[in-house]
Amino acid sequence: MTALHGVAEESFAADASPGQHYLNRELSTLDFNGRVLALAENPDLPLLERVKFFAIFATNMDEFFQVRVAGLMDQLAAGIGTAPDRLSVSDQLKAIRAGTEVLLERRARAFVSDVLPGLASHGIELCGWGSLSQADQEWASRVFQERIFPVLTPLAVDPGHPFPYISNLSLNLAVIVRDPSGGERRFARVKVPPLLPGLLAMPDGRRFVTLEQVIAAHLGDLFPGMEIVSHHPFRVTRNADLTLEEEEADDLLVAVEMELRRRRFGRAVRLEVDSSMTEEVRTLLARELDLRPEDVYEGPGPIDHTALWQIYQLDRPELKDEPFVPVKPFRVGGADGEATDIFAAMRSGDILVQHPYESFADSVEEFIDQASRDPDVLAIKQTLYRTSGDSAIVRSLIRAAERGKQVAALVELKARGDEAANIGFARALERAGVHVVYGLVGLKTHSKIALVVRQEGEGITRYCHIGTGNYNASTARTYEDVGILTARPELGGDLTDLFNYLTGYSRRVDYRRLLVAPSALRTRMLELIDREASFGEAGRMVWKLNNLVDPGVIDALYRASQAGARIDLIVRGICCLRPGVAGISEGIRVRSLVGRWLEHSRIYYFGAGSGRDELDTGRFYIGSADMMERNLDRRVEAVVPIESADLQGRLREILLTEMADDVLTWVLSPEGAWHKLPVDRNFNAQLRLQELAVARARRRMEAESAMMLTEAETSAGSLPGTLR
């Protein structure tokens, strides 16, 4: 392990066989989580931002075990499965165990030795129960009696009480009690209520104690007359992936609801324990949960780092990044806080928006809101993959349906982690009269598309939004995404055909401009790669995406590199391509930007034989698809070419800015190891993109002011007797 600029580095995807063409997907995921953890370790970041990244790291690791590790354990039980890098399932699980232990050691070291003392120096403390004053303990005891004790249910384990079911991601106390009369020892489990905050804030609002410590201090109230021998917090992670048999389901909505209930009882895949837990209790828990010793992870408390979000929510702006307010996009934001006519703006030319630098509310949400209120709008059609709980877009669709417009929403029920929320707002849409479709059998609908049909004169005009991010106002404030608002007839025709495919029985596979998966996206992407390869050293590609996993695409990139093409890949998360290998991928460079905003957009540039680093000629595409087998073959995705010279300039600016970064950037070596790029020019791409967005907004306001002044002068000059 090495360290650059105070940030620790590891690589778990690196292996001992440099001749391997692919890096392991699961270990590459661990590498990404290590880069997130590096932000929590970075002493140059504001203190509460580091706390936030500890919470994000914990959430990422939870999902990794619920889905990826759970899948490997299923494969191990079935005796099947070998990764493209030829690692066996058992070898992958061993490597994941070793890599996770390294990450947990890093987390403990940074959190306990650095961040906790740093918080304390600013008056924010994560206290142990024993360190509280008597007055504080008395206050916490009153809170316990009033708000916590009534909802606790201690569950004993004895011949009359079988071992209780431990729900996914629940925090619990394992308690050993002794009967004073007979001396017999018993095990009991107390579940920490998940609906209560994980940290109890003391009256001063600056000190916190974990809820499990408060409960542990009052176990005598839960087991009166018994002696408390020991108590230890623990947390269980279970398989949380949906396994639907869609072809056999008469009603997909009912099938997903049933599967969500069944998923609560998925097999356990990880047990997290406090380092003070006795071997007796650890062995008992592992046995009852049917876990191997290598599935048990220990460390210092708190066990559930997702509770740290409470500390991050403190109103301490001096310990956070400087707030950034998204600006109104060019030609969309109106003067004096008023919204412009978005349809007129779209008719005057395509509009590119980049969130969170440009406002989601003033662009995408405004587009759907105006459509819902406009009497000339006849129909609205939209895909919804993940949306926020209090969604302005859902409210707009409901309003439109109530006003008699034709409204169709394709709600993807199988969006992992959001199934229950999607079911809830889907039912609300149905009650309002929206035509709700729940996706296609065997495919997830992952495309981010919206279509508005408007009566204009004697005909209709179709207005479109095609983007890279979900229609979710919450994530639009933290995820970097791009989208296009357009009235181009050929794209309106393509979206009409695509929605007919999604809602009806259309089997159209040829589109005018869109690249659609699973029908043609893979084929077309491979053709574009091969075309760059055909130009030899004049071939040029720059891609920005979340994940690069698909072996077929990776092999095509290798062939292009071997033909002389130069390829830059900005891959935020998983990358299974091995760059810079002699004779295989010498012309490929891979970097990853990890920072304040989650890099989420997918931008694909093909130089069309220009070979230029300026990217001033060639083809640009944006869309919902990463280069993964699931995106290319098992999801409905939409990728759109950007043909406006102005919009191509914006995308060029984004790519060149990110390739110039040396603050947030990690680079991938031929051996499969990620290294933090040394800071030379101190160029932060995300800060630069913020500055560019603000500068565009300022120019827009200046142009609007100049136009208003000109109009005022013209109006004044037209009045009789006016001096000019």
Q: Tally the C-alpha atoms within 13 A of residue 626's C-alpha that lie toward its C-beta.
A: 22
Query: Which residues are registered as beta bridge partners of 454?
Result: 377, 461
CB 408 within 8 A of CB 434: yes
In 3D space, the residue among 606, 628, 385 whose CA is nearest the CA of residue 517 turns out to be 628
DSSP three-state, residue 230? strand
Q: Catalytic residue at 446?
A: yes
CB 277 within 8 A of CB 300: no
DSSP three-state, residue 694? helix
190: part of which helix (H) or strand (E)? strand 185-191
- Structure tokens that stand for 375 in this block: 């009497």
CB 570 within 8 A of CB 543: yes
From the number of C-beta atoms within 10 Å of its C-beta (0-12, 13-18, 19+), residue 477 rates as middle
In 3D space, the residue among 206, 169, 192 whose CA is nearest the CA of residue 310 turns out to be 206
DSSP state of 269: E
Q: What are phi and psi of 227, to 5 degrees?
A: -90, 130
Q: How far apart are CA 467 and CA 450, in angstroms?
A: 9
CA distance readout (Å), 324 to 135, 353, 685, 687, 693: 41, 16, 15, 10, 11
DSSP state of 146: I
Q: How far apart are CA 279 and CA 260, in angstroms?
A: 34
Q: How far apart are CA 543 and CA 528, in angstroms?
A: 12
Q: How far apart are CA 438 and CA 655, in angstroms?
A: 35
CA distance readout (Å), 617 to 7, 350, 521: 38, 19, 22
CB 100 within 8 A of CB 30: yes
| Cβ neighbours of 211 (radius 10 Å) | 22
720 prior amide bond cis, ω within 30: no
CB 291 within 8 A of CB 98: no
Query: Which residues are registered as beta bridge partners of 130?
Result: none
CB 156 within 8 A of CB 223: no
CB 369 within 8 A of CB 342: no
Task: Measure CA of the first residue to CA of the last residue in the chain; give whole Å.
Answer: 75
CB 683 within 8 A of CB 705: no
419-431 vs 252-263: helix axis angle to the nearest 10?
A: 150
Q: How far apart are CA 701 and CA 278, in angstroms?
A: 66
In 3D space, the residue among 597, 646, 599 whose CA is nearest the CA of residue 620 turns out to be 646
DSSP state of 323: P
Residue whose structure tokens are 């991601």 = 169
CA distance readout (Å), 578 to 31, 224, 349, 558: 14, 61, 41, 9
Q: How far apart are CA 6 and CA 319, in angstroms?
A: 19
**Residue from 232, 305, 355, 446 carrying the catalytic annotation:** 446
Three-state secondary structure of 331-349? CCECHHHCECCHHHHHHCC
11: part of which helix (H) or strand (E)? none
User: Which positions are annotated as active-site residues?
Assistant: 446
